[in-house]
């Protein structure tokens, strides 16, 4: 079935990401819907070396299941300078990759990942631990990437959590511009300054200009 006008299909199994995309889209007058039957589609292997490579892998694979439609996928993660860019493209699997010494296919849960990150920072000792979140959105049609957009948010990692919003590493990601962690922001505030919000607004500018 073709997507409705101004309805954008997205392929993500992460409820936190979906909530943020839908929040940002509503504010801007478009609807973001999950790709139908996403759960039944085999997940592509995210073995790219960069966020962009993984975003392309996902968008291309999922778009083959919605002929002629523009399908969005994103890859994102946290990069901590004192950890030489880790957890990076392995952000979702950080705890398991440290524990097993190799990159597993399955994700670790947020609590395990946060615990692993704090242990690594504690080993280093004193901060500040400058870090950035990166999000790459890829839009693909019929298995080919049409365009990609990148957004970044710069902050510092705490070793004690603050706030209960957001997801993933948010309680530890302090955003100096607002003096809060990402877990202390409302959905709208996070959208205004986050890596995902920035990439998504670039996508929407492109979408409006081309459709
Ligand atoms: P992906 O699903 O392979 O792109 O993994 C993204 C991972 O990066 C998530 O599971 C989180 O661990 C982390 N991450 C990405 N964006 C955010 C964010 O906005 N807040 C917190 N963690 C994030």
Residue 107 CA, closest ligand 1 atom number: 10
Residues known to be catalytic: 75
Mutate to test the pocket of ligand 1, among 58, 152, 168, 185 (most ligand atoms within 8 A of CB): 168
Does the beta carbon of 133 sit less than 6 angstroms from any atom of ligand 1? yes
In tens, the pLDDT along 43-55 reads 999 999 999 999 9
Indicate the CATH number for domain 6-210: 3.90.950.10
The atom number, within ligand 1, closest to the CA of 182 reads: 20
- pLDDT attached to residue 5: 54
- pLDDT for position 39: 92
By DSSP bridging, strand 7-10 and strand 173-175 are unpaired
Q: Whose CA is nearest to atom 7 of ligand 1?
A: 92
Give the ligand 1 atom nearest the CA of 14: 2
**Whole-number Å distance between alpha carbons of 174 and 50:** 24
Q: What pLDDT score was predicted for residue 1? A: 44
| CA 177–ligand 1 middle distance (angstroms) | 21
Return the closest-CA partner of residue 195 out of 77, 90, 23, 109. Answer: 77
Residue 170 beta carbon below 6 angstroms from any ligand 1 atom:
yes
Beta bridge partners of 135: 76, 151
Residues 57, 58, 63, CA angle at the centre, nearest 5°? 105
- Is the CB of 166 within 6 Å of ligand 1? yes
Instruction: Look at residue 24 in the predicted model and tell me its pLDDT.
Output: 85
CA–centroid distance, residue 1 to ligand 1 (Å): 30
Ligand 1 centroid–CA 29 distance in Å is 25
State residue 160's pLDDT score.
97
Burial of 158 (0-12, 13-18, 19+ CB in 10 A): middle
Separation of 6 CA from ligand 1 center, angstroms?
Answer: 26
Residues of the chain with pLDDT under 70: 1-6
Read off the pLDDT of residues 139-184 as tens digits, 9 standing for 90 and up: 999 999 999 999 999 999 999 999 999 999 999 999 999 999 999 9
């Amino acid at each position: 079935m073709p997507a409705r006008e101004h309805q954008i299909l997205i392929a993500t199994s992460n409820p936190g990401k979906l909530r943020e995309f839908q929040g940002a889209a509503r504010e801007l007058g478009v609807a973001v819907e999950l790709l139908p039957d996403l759960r039944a589609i085999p997940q592509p292997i995210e073995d790219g070396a960069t966020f962009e490579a993984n975003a392309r892998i996902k968008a291309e694979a999922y778009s083959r299941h919605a002929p002629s439609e523009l399908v969005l996928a994103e890859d994102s993660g946290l990069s901590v300078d004192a950890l030489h860019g880790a957890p990076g493209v392995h952000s979702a699997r950080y705890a398991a990759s440290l524990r097993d010494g190799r990159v597993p296919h399955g994700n670790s849960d947020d609590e395990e990942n946060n615990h692993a990150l704090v242990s690594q920072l504690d080993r280093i000792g004193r901060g500040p631990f400058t870090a950035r979140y990166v999000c790459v959105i890829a839009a693909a049609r019929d298995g080919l990437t049409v365009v990609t957009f990148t957004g970044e948010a710069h902050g510092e990692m705490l070793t004690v959590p603050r706030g209960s919003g957001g997801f993933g590493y948010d309680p530890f990601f302090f955003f100096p511009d607002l003096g809060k962690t990402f877990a202390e922001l409302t959905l709208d505030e996070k959208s205004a300054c986050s890596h995902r919000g920035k990439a998504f607004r670039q996508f929407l500018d492109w979408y409006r200009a081309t459709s």
